[in-house]
Structure formats: C-alpha cells, structure tokens
Structure 1
Amino acid sequence: MAIPYDLSLFNSTPSPYSTIEACGNSSLPPSALLCTDWPPVPMTTIIPAIYSVICVLGTIANALAVCVLAHASTSRRTIANTFMLNLCVSDLLFLLSLPLWAVYYSQGYSWPFGWVACKVCGALLNLNLYASIFFITSMSIDRYLAIVRPLRSQSARNTKRARLTCVLVWLLACACSAPTFFLRNTYHLEALGVEGCVIIYPNHTWYLTLAWMKIVLAFLLPLLVISCCYYAIGKHLMADTGLVRMHNLSHPSNMQSFKSQESCSKPERHPSLCGSPSYSAGRNVEGRGLERVLWTVAAVVMAFFLCWFPFHCVTFLDVLNSKGWLDSCWMNWTIQNLTPLTLCLGFSNSAINPVLYCFIGHHFRGRLGGLCKGLCACLKARGEEHSQKRGSFSTRLSSFSRKLSDLKDLAIVDPSGPA
C-alpha cells in the first residue's frame, strides 16, 4: 500500500495538520511535533486572495505579450522573441489553472473539480516551473552566443533552430513533470473530512528523488549555466569598453576611426562591412539593440531567481527535516507556513515577466501601442460600417413607409375603384 508521505498541491504547500499533508512540499513524519504556542497563518483566506491578484494581473499581461509577440512581423521574429513567446505561453497556461487552486484553498483543501482536473492542474504547475527556467536558460545561452561568439554561432543561430529548441524544452519539461502527474490524484483526507487533490508518494525514496530533481534541474543546474553565460558576457563587454576608453584617452581626435579599426581587427566582427562609411554608426545602433535585449533577458533571469529562490530554500530545509536532521518545533512551523507563502512569491513571477518586457523593451512597447491602435481603428471602422448599414436600413424603411402611406391615401379617396 502507498505511504502518504506528501499529499501536496505542488509538492509544496503543507496542510495544517501533522498526520498527512494535504497540500505541501513538506514530508514531515507523522510524529513531528507542532508548535502549539505559535499561531498558524490563515492560509484559507490569504492564499486565495494572493492567487486571485496574481491570476488577474498575470493573465492580462501574458495575453497582451502573446498577442504582440505572435503578431510580430517577420523581421521582428527574433530568437529571443521566440523564447519569450513560449515563456509567456507557459505562464499563461499555468495562470489559467490558478483559480481552481484558489477555490481549493478557500474550501479548506477540498477539491470539487474531479480527478481529471486534479491531474491536469497539478501537471501545469510542475510544467511551468521546469519550462520557465529552461526557456530562461535558453535565452541566456543565446545571448552568450550572440555577444561573445557572433560569427562562430551565426550559422547555428536562426529562428528555425530556436523553434526546435522550444519543442525540446517542452518535451523535457513534460518528462520532468510526468512522475507527479501520475502520482497526483484525489484522496479522501480523514483528518479534514474532505476530498483533496494530493500527491501520494509510494515511499520516502520517491519523495527525496523528486525533491532533489526539482532543486537540481529547476534551480541549481540552470543557475550554474546562466551564471557562466553572464560572466562571459560581462567580461567580454568590459574588455571591449576598456579598450575603447584607453584609446580615447590617448587619441581623443581619432575616437571614431579607432572604433571602426578595432571592430575590423577582430575576426568575430563582420569583415565585409569594414571600410564602409556607415559601419561605425551601424555598430553603435546594433550595440544599443544588443544592450536592450541583454538587459531584458537579465531582468527576466533576476526576477525568476528572486521569486523562486526562497521556495527552493524551504524545499531544501524540508528535505533535511524529513531525514531528521532539523527536526524541531520551530522548523516544522517554518516549513508549514513559509512553503505556501514562498510558493505565492514563485507564482508571481508569471505575472512579472511580461511587465519587464513592457518597461525595458522599447520595441515591445511600440508594437503593443501599434496593436492597440490597430484594434481601435478596426473597431471604429466596424462601428462606422454598422452605422452606415443602419442608416441605409432606416432610409429603406422610411421609403417603404411613405409608399405604404400613399397606397392607403389612394384607397380612401376611391375605395370602389374606377366607375
């Protein structure tokens, strides 16, 4: 028989009782002591309110982002935009399931939507966690190749390969989410007297394996890859900036000439453009564009780790606690109360990403404004067309009424017809 070590919402949100966990990443043993002197956080009221705000704001922002990125012109369908579009789709799918989890909390961990919805909504939670960080990692690697290795990666960096990478990311995220999809189901929680949507681990080894997989694959390994990419990017940009500044100090009158020569002297640059009068200006424009994209991706990365780092820390503490290494009253209270709150912080990342695109990406704001103007123009044109049709119908109706009135007048004048 399966051992209910953790009956969780996201492998993450513990219930307010110690015998079994209804919605937590906590796998506290049944004998764990609770801190009776420490009041529990009222999860059934706080969590639904937070989820509702995240769902409304995140759905609107991600829907706008998907519309803008999906309707971009062919010239604007860059590799970074391809990854961003898939990231927004992942966030949007997850946010659509968030109202069900809000109801789940508000009803005291009672799941009224059936076992199919339980499995699907649980899978979307895990899928979003893995897919988000995988897409962010892909964006970071792409920025590294574009800035540090532009010529060597020119043949490998194209939108077709970016779409193929997105397909592989979705498949990998689905594979990582598959175990919890099969383990999650509706289960009668005797301590609460409700039917909960929970994960029942066959044994403690299953819990440890999935917990460590989540920490390593969804946090530590991507953190290592992203840190290496941005360290190399920063080192490369600082080296270029240092060379330009040193030459400007010694030869201020030849600043523009040096930029062109220095750019042409590096094999990574575009040698066919060297010597062109507009090369330096083009390089400056390209540099500003790369800098904007770099800052956008860096902001998305920082937002992700600031939102999810507390949750993974609590998950790690829970793993240690499940082994009996940190078994104490205050640790049990911390895990049970901080896990759902840090999970809310992690979920808020789905609403933050499109906001970062709007405030940092100038092109995104321009395309969003153009899309809104086009929508308003379309609605205005339809309104005018409807008004014209309505006016034409009114004119025809008036003409018909006049003809009908004339016929009635003729009948009154000579009702019997000709003599």
Structure 2
Amino acid sequence: MHRNLSTLFATEETLHSLHSSPTNTSTALALSSDCPLVLSDYQFALIPVLYCLIFVLGLLGNSVVVLVLCRHNGPKTVANIYILNLAMADLLSLTTLPLWAAYYAYGYNWIFGSVMCKISGSILCLNTFTSIFFITCMSMDRYQAVIYPLRSQRRTLQQASFVAVIVWSLAGLSSLPTFYFRDTFYVERLGVNACIMAFPYEKYSKWSAGTALMKNILGFLIPLIIIITCYVWIRMRLMKAQGFEKNKKRRDKILKLVAAVVVAFLVCWLPFHVLTFLDALAWMNVITNCVIISVIDAALPFGICIGFANSCINPLLYCFIGNQFQEKLQHLFKLRIYQFSSRRQSSSSKKGSSLKEAESPDDLLEVNPDETTA
C-alpha cells in the first residue's frame, strides 16, 4: 500500500491510513513503509482549537434554531420540519467534537473506550449524510414552491415527517459499515490506542476505496446535481415571471439566497470530497507518489474541519437571514422578557401599596402582549 500516514486516526476518512496486519494476535497493526511516516505537530495544536471553535459556535446557533422552532406557536411548515431535523443532526454531531479534539490533542490516542469510539465515529458518518440529505430536501421544497405553487400548497406536515424518517433511515444504513468496523487498537509503532476502521486485512484497500467512493457519490455528487438543478430552474422561473421588474428587489433577495445556498454547499463539502476521492485513488494504487499522498493526508483534517463548519453556517444560511425566523426569534425574546417582567411586577405589588402606581410591563418594554405570541 502506497500511503503516507501523516493524518492517521483523525476521523472516518483519515483513519484509512492504518491497516490491519496478519500477525499471530490478529489485532496487531502495522504501518506501510512504502512512504515515510510524517506526523505534523501543527495538527495536534491547531485542529483541537478549530474543533472547539466549531463546537461552541455550532452549538449556540443550532440550539437557538431548535428552541425557536419548538417554541413557535404559529402554523408549522414543511420547510420548518427540514430545518429542525437539520439542526438536530448538526447538534448530534457537534456533541462528539470535544472527543475528537481531545483525540488530536493527545496525539491520536483515544482515551474514551471502544464503545465511544464506535458511537462517535458512527455519529460523524451519520451527520455527513443527514446534513446533505436534508439540504437537498430543502432545495427540492423550494423548487416545488416556486415552480408549482398551487401543488406545493397541498404538502402536509405528515408527508414532510415521513420524508425526514426516510432520510434518517438512509443515513443510518449508509453509516452501518462505520458502526460495524470502527474499533480501538493499540499501535505499537506510535504508542497510541487508535480509534480506527478495522477492515478485513485481505480486502482493506477495496473496503477503504469503496467507502470513500460511496461518500463521494451518495453523500455529495448526487445531492449536488439535485441542488444545482433545482436552483437553476428556480432562477429561470423567477427571471421569466411576469412583473419581475416590479418585484425586482424582493426577487433579487431570493436569487441571492439561492446563490448563497449553492456556494455554501460547495465551499463546505467540495474540499472534503475531492480529498476523499484522491484518497480512494491512493488506496487503488492509482496515485503512488509519496509527495502527493503526503499532501492529501496533510490536507484531509482541514477538509474535514471545513465540512464540520457547515454546522455553524446552516443556522445563518437557512434561518437567521430569513425575515420570518428573525420575527419568531424576536417574538420569543420579547415574550420571555414580558413574562419575566410580569412576574417581577406581580411579586413587587404584594410588598406594599406604594408600588401600585408603578409602570406596567407594557410601558416598560413598549410591547403589546398580543404581539409577542409567534
């Protein structure tokens, strides 16, 4: 196997640089000597910081999304179902980032046990698919709303919930290889207990290349084709719509949002999947140059970080830039302040008659209670 092992054990993809060796114990691991082993210190310091930053920002943004959508008392929409599931998928994967940050900080030494190794790896793989699948569902929903507005009005929340169940099921099936093969093994050469994909030794290269190509095709190429097709048709429909000049400002905003969706999708996932594809070519011995392999292995952790950063971008892209979501967030915030002020006012009125002439919460906040409900 012609592999540089500079980014061993980091995640689902970079773990492919390690392979089982058919020794007497059957669980011992050996490293390929075709290319020199290069471990870069910057990864041990920089990657944990990036993971922690993504964890904090993503946790904050997606938690607000879930809170607003769950506390919203108004009519639910199909788009809200997809956004809520997308935020929950991102939150699920974000919970594992501190573990992977510690993994890097300890020099690729997994200290959380075999069970957590299997669960954490499976969750990351699950999120890789669920995130992109739900983005695709949202793109198709926008397409239907713009191209077939009358038909789209017949969409039901039950249908959207059923689609969400299908998405989670497909993502779960796609993550089964990770759940089955992920495990911890002690690597004597590096002196670490690594969390790796322990594929069968005889077919390790085929399994590694196969899983990488599955991520490329099912987790990127097909969704990308669907997303671009939807937004091209949306743009064409908006440009041809009657009265376009009259509503140019509003429709320009829609087109900008459409462009932002496509660009964010490409920026976050293209580097990761290009590197994953090159990694598959290395496993198939199409790429054998040690310098190129070293570049692939050195870049993979940062490609993965960019992919994780999509969990931070999603709340901004799909929620915070939307006027309706901003209104829901403001209403929820005002409602909390009003309820808090009302409790204080009620408590203060019991202490003495001198407080009876105090200003009401409405006067203090300049908010009508009837307007605070979402």
Computed over aligned residues only, the root mean square deviation of the Cα atoms, in angstroms, reads: 2.9
Superposed, which structure 2 residues align to 1:2-151 within 5 Å? 8-13=9-14, 20=19, 30-34=32-36, 40=40, 42-75=42-75, 77-151=76-150
Check whether the contact 1:62–1:89 (CA below 8 A) recurs between aligned residues.
Answer: yes
TM-score, normalised by the number of residues in structure 1: 0.73
Q: CA deviation at 1:10?
A: 3.0
Q: How many residues align?
A: 335
Question: Partners of 2:126 and 2:213 in 1: how far apart?
Answer: 16
What SS does the corresponding residue of 1:348 show, helix, strand or coil?
helix
- In structure 2, the CA distance between the partners of 1:160 and 1:352, relative to structure 1 (3 Å rule), is same
Q: CA deviation at 1:378?
A: 3.1
Question: Partners of 1:217 and 1:171 in 2: how far apart?
Answer: 14
TM-score, normalised by the number of residues in structure 2: 0.81
**Cross-structure match for 2:229:** 228
Check whether the contact 2:83–2:318 (CA below 8 A) recurs between aligned residues.
Answer: no
Q: Show CA shifts across 1:186-221 (max 9, x none).
A: 111112212121111122221122111100000000
Question: Partners of 1:194 and 1:29 in 2: how far apart?
Answer: 13
Instruction: Indicate the larger mover: 190-199 or 172-181.
Output: 190-199
**Cross-structure match for 2:356:** none
**Cross-structure match for 1:168:** 166
Q: CA deviation at 1:41?
A: 5.4
Q: Does 1:337 align with 2:337?
A: no
Percent identity, aligned pairs only, is 41
**Cross-structure match for 1:205:** 206
Check whether the contact 1:59–1:92 (CA below 8 A) recurs between aligned residues.
Answer: yes
- In structure 2, the CA distance between the partners of 1:121 and 1:305, relative to structure 1 (3 Å rule), is same
Check whether the contact 1:29–1:322 (CA below 8 A) recurs between aligned residues.
Answer: no
- In structure 2, the CA distance between the partners of 1:367 and 1:151, relative to structure 1 (3 Å rule), is closer
Asked which structure has the greater CA Rg, the reply is: 1
Question: Partners of 2:169 and 2:212 in 1: how far apart?
Answer: 20
Q: CA deviation at 1:387?
A: 6.2
**Cross-structure match for 1:179:** 177
Check whether the contact 1:7–1:200 (CA below 8 A) recurs between aligned residues.
Answer: no
Amino acid at match of 2:158: K
Q: Runs of 5+ in structure 1 lacking a partner?
A: 22-27, 249-254, 256-283, 393-419
Q: Runs of 5+ in structure 2 lacking a partner?
A: 21-29, 353-374
Q: Show CA shifts across 1:357-409 (max 9, x none).
A: 454211111211221222233334445566678x69xxxxxxxxxxxxxxxxx
Check whether the contact 2:228–2:262 (CA below 8 A) recurs between aligned residues.
Answer: no
What SS does the corresponding residue of 1:30 show, helix, strand or coil?
coil
Residue from 186, 208, 215 that aligns with 1:188: 186
What SS does the corresponding residue of 2:333 show, helix, strand or coil?
helix
